[in-house]
Amino acid sequence: MTASGAQVVAAGLVTTSGLTKDYGGTGLFDVDLAVPRGSVYGLVGPNGAGKTTLLSLLCGIRRPDRGTIGVSIGRARVAVCPDVPEFDSWLTGYEAVGLARSLVAPTVGAEQVLAALATAGLSEAAGRRVGGFSRGMVQRLGLACALVGDPQLLILDEPTSALDPVGRAEMLSLVAAMRGRRTVIFSSHILADVQRIADQVGILRDGRLLYQGATRHLIDTYLKPTWTVRLAAGADQVAAAMATAPWATRVERTGPDDIRVDAVSIEAGERGIPAVIAACGARQVSCEPAAADLESAFLALTGARP
């Protein structure tokens, strides 16, 4: 596996081994993917990193040059929603979902069509022709078509790219609620979205998987041992005491009552900061770790600048 520093993930619902699709130097190279059953797996990477290629290989519309893909469920239980779903413009929303139903789950009834449309938030518009839908509505319709067959594996390419803020929040909540019931693999450029709903993350750059594992683990790895401490009084005394502490590497006053302190490690800071404040008899208002998010981890891993 090419991913460095990745958590070892048990063989899951979807696995790939040495997956390669070479478009003459670009594409996807030696990707060993492991998507645990029931997880929400976020696939992130810069433009051209190979996200769409990887998803296309997983859903079978492209074939790998090398490597293997293992999906431990039948193809009928896999649903795919591309970043820009397209439908014949003269179909109604009902008919588009009805067509998807007939192709993947012909035995289920009209109730499932209604349920899928309602889940995607299209109950009111489903009787209209798709040609009159906004791009966001078409994206929701793509999701309804994917859900109508009650898939075990849902592959979503940029599922929020065309949605307004409310629609985006609804889509994220919807996907997050699937955790445990379905396995979801989705790609996104919006790292905050991935951090919010994905419990597993894969980071691609130049067609190679740089990291794969728990989102929390990745963030923790790149969490800096830096805190901002706010005191009710005695900031000068605390700052002076911290500056002499062996675990503190840097102490800086950032305001009348605020101190920014860097420690040699997270554990040293978590132990040392409360001890110094207590020894000085100061009153602490707050102590917050410096923001660490998927974006900073992503930037650190990919070597990109913010």
Single-letter code of the amino acid located at 127: G
Which positions from 144 through 203 interact with other proteins, judged by CB under 8 A? 145
Token pair belonging to 2: 């090419």
Give yes or no for a contact between 92 and 128, defined as CB atoms under 8 angstroms apart: yes
Angle 194-196-199 (CA atoms, 0-180°, nearest 5)? 70
- Distance in angstroms (rounded) separating the CA atoms of residues 203 and 303: 12
Angle 18-203-265 (CA atoms, 0-180°, nearest 5)? 120
Angle 227-230-236 (CA atoms, 0-180°, nearest 5)? 100
Of 127 and 180, nearer to other proteins (C-beta) is: 127
Interacting residue with other proteins among 114, 176, 243, 290 (CB under 8 A): 114
Of 88 and 164, nearer to other proteins (C-beta) is: 88
Nearest-approach distance from CB 161 to other proteins, in angstroms: 12
Token pair belonging to 115: 């349920």
CA 35: distance to chain centroid? 13
Strand ordering across the sheet containing 283-289? 248-253, 258-263, 226-233, 283-289
Of 13 and 282, nearer to other proteins (C-beta) is: 13
Which positions from 115 through 144 interact with other proteins, judged by CB under 8 A? 115, 117-119, 123, 126-127, 142
Nearest-approach distance from CB 102 to other proteins, in angstroms: 5
Interacting residue with other proteins among 59, 143, 147, 191 (CB under 8 A): 59
* Residue 179: CB atoms within 10 Å: 15
Which positions from 69 through 108 interact with other proteins, judged by CB under 8 A? 75, 78-80, 82, 84-88, 90-92, 94-95, 97-104
Nearest-approach distance from CB 198 to other proteins, in angstroms: 22
Q: How many residues bind other proteins, per CB under 8 A?
A: 43
Binding site for other proteins (CB under 8 A): 56, 59-63, 75, 78-80, 82, 84-88, 90-92, 94-95, 97-104, 109-111, 113-115, 117-119, 123, 126-127, 142, 145
